[in-house]
Structure 1
Amino acid sequence: MAAISRSRRPLALAAAVAVALGAGALAVTSASAAEAPLKDYELTWGIKQSYRSYVTGMAAGSFTPAGGATQAADNGAFTFAGGTGTYDSDTHAVRLGFAGSLKIASKLHGFDLTLSDVRFDSGAAEITADVTSGGTTQDDVPLADVTVTRTMTGMETRLTKEAATVLGSASYEGAAGDPLTVVQKTPPTQSPSPTGSPSSSTSPSPTTSTSPKPTGSASSTASPSASQTTSPSASSSETGAATQGDIADGTLGWGVKQSFRTYVVDGPAKGRITASGGATQASGNGDFTFTEATGTYDTDADTLKAAFKGAVNFKGHEANGSYGLDLTLSGLTVELDGGTGELTADVESLGKTSDDVVLAHLTAGSSDLKAEDDVISLDDVTAELTKAGAQAFGGFYTEGTVLDPVDLSVALSDDAQLPDGNGDGGSGNGSGTGGSGDSGTTSGTTGGGGTTGSTTGGVTGALASTGSDVPTGALGAAAAVTVAAGAGVVIAVRRRRQA
């Protein structure tokens, strides 16, 4: 891995950590050496919660700490103990190295790597580690930028480009990692003043003495497993339409979470996405639209149930002509009552089908259903992953994760015009290959083939896609288990912006 230039935080800001160090460790006089020894420190960092869930869930892998490293219960964060290093009284920089190693492995997805010699440098504001994979070790790989605070607890982290390579997905670059805490195992009896003066004998309260974020420090970014949404709203004016009856037509805009689409097409799965049967996908591996809604509505009772035509297939991890991921969503149905409801779908994975799986809880911005020009439209409906949905994804996303919002428009009469201008609900149904999709007007296939994961500088990505040496039977069995748990690998979607 080629070395890259990394910016350093202003040295004056490194003094913010001095208050967290014991007076004994910092008791240096002007005649002493600039660096004082530090020992008995612990570093706790979980890398990223969604990554841990992926490893032990979808990848059916494991974390194995050793040599003094430990992991918290319930697939929690990792702690590296035995930290030793130095405190520089001139620059106020803390540099610590920690004992222990962490092995991360999955036979199913074909990765096996070990992190060791984990280091924290407050002056450089970063975490580094030696990374061993495929018999090759790279020293001091920068894994995360750190927003250093005075107490060195709960510090924000941002994953680096190198970390994305190690973890096997470009989507991790710049993503917010888990918070980082660096503390002395045996609490010091005294702490220096907030100025970092070693001669101070008073102990400031960590709850009231905190430093501002370093200038130019890495800012926290949103996780691939959590999407931000705006407040949804319903149509605001009534028309002369009947207050209840059958739905004549309609469309559903939903886009199976961008991070999942990226994983399938551009990430380790090296696969493709195919929309069919009336469903379409926007160009550039975009969102999906499901069409030809049928169902019922009651604007007095504020209830609606609409089923949509179309299917979307996700296929990847090819090995000897077979696929470890082969998932189809169809029969999408939205049911709302007083502004809340559910999104369900039939889920087929590797030939096994689970019908009417509740994927998401829905919450509209208003409890009232109102029609305008014989059309009920609901935009940016909030969707949260259900327990069944979380199980379907093998724990890669947790229950309650906010999914991408849903857009819904249904026509209450045959001549009503839906927002995209279609009065008959019939989108064209064509075909395409490798990245096709005409702004959501035709069905087609996005993506391409491939069986090997990315490798940079001898470090193979932890999410590398399976190769021909991975038993196809094992891939199929693991994928089948997810369907039994709740219905295969499924997540939510990005809204489709209609014209």
Structure 2
Amino acid sequence: MPVRRRRSTALAAAVATATTLGATALAALGGATTASAAEAPLADYELTWGIKQSYRTYVGMFGSFTASEGAGQAPGSGAFTFTDGTGTYDTTAHTVDLAFRGRLVSASAAHHFEVTLTDLRFDSGAGEITADVTTVDTSGATPTKKGDDVPLAKVAVTRTMTDMATTLTTEAGEYLGSDGYAGAAGDPLTVVKKTPPTTEPTTGPTPGPTGEPTTGEPSKEPTTDPEPTDPQTTPATREPSPTASTSAAPSAPATTAPATTAPTKGEIADGTLGWGVKESFRAYVVGTVAKGRVTVSGGATQSAGNGAFTFKDATGTYDTDADKLTATFKGAVNFKGHESGGSYGLDLTLSNLKATLDGGTGTLSADVNSLGTQTKGVVLADLEAKSGDLKAAQDVVTVDDVAATLTAAGAKAFGDFYRAGTALDTVDLSVALSDDARLPDGGGSDTSGGTSGGSGTAGGSTGGGTGTAGGTGSTVGGTGTTTGGSLGGGSLASTGSDIPGPALGAAAGAAVVVGAGAVYAARRRRTQGRSAE
């Protein structure tokens, strides 16, 4: 259950009522006692908020997030979800006050910080998100900082409580490690009621919203409470699905069953591999630090929004009885950035990708060309599937969400930009075992040879904007500062990124000030000879 709030919810409701009715009305109503009587209990709510995309990108580049105890994170370094929200609904002021379960830790061993959020709360009357926050400098250079009910963001509350605009507070900047976050636009916030699945079929056909907030005051809440949107849309989307599934189910096997069945071992007829390399790396390349671009060629495609890549036309062998698979894919992707005088400090091409699986584990390798030096067959990542079984369905073997972990050789290929053992984007693999088999859609939307990203504006956009001139993708940091600016409070001079300064060690902070591009280029030059081995 959520931690009990330290200030009285009855008092908070009374304050909200006073704002609406006036102080004299509050006195006439008998103060907090009357406000408490106007509250109805709420339960089973869920809150989704990403804090700020540039903050997630920064942490993902140099560390990781760990969500537990009821919290979760969407794939691809997405937004965070906090569950089991309980609290009260003020039927007079029409406000909600909810506390959520979940623990979120952002940490980086390289930059010596660990930030923990718990007891996340949403108060629509106050229009804010609060949390208990603990910030630890793991190097021991600064003392641990703790705060209860820290206001992290102001919220532009709407009736539906979906996609509400947020603005980060000064306190958010203090605890997250950068004054630049203060006043910056945060990610949108959504608060919805999660109806238990067992009750949905019975409430779906009936006017579900009237019973939404349980036993409080059904006649008032459907028209005033923000929550009816979710119950209305949930049954609507579910009612057509049984009809669609029952009608489609018989026909699908009928058309595909006559197809010839492939043997249990042989040569792969076709296949696709979906992989984003690493989301934070893609964002870095097109962001305001590298000011670069991502280009696909040779039949590879990239999803919109600087998304993941799809490599096609697989060749190789399979053995479903032995659960073994070796597949090589066509297509290439090039990462280019840190341009100076027509040359680039970052120029990395991955091509001829090859995936192997044996009982659920394997490797992902590629030909690597970095700054003109090519090395073939570099094992970039160790792979681990959720299951060791390779099962064919309609002559297609599909293995999704395969965990990929950077190897020591892969770290060298990236110029030691990431350490060995770093989690890369997951791999989606589909191979056709016969010419008649039909592969799922690869998902790439850019044409072969297309580019993503472009040159960003110096200094970055205000508040850590996510766009770059000439392309999509998020920046590594946030508010940029002018060249020669101060490092005080965590703002970084001349880099165009808003990397939390207080959390950085002295050496790491100096390296960032000099410029991530210079560091990367220097590392690549030092390792050029070694990577060719």
Higher relative contact order (CA 8 A, sep 6+): 1
Q: TM-score of the superposition, structure 1-length normalised?
A: 0.48
Q: Which has the larger helix fraction?
A: 2
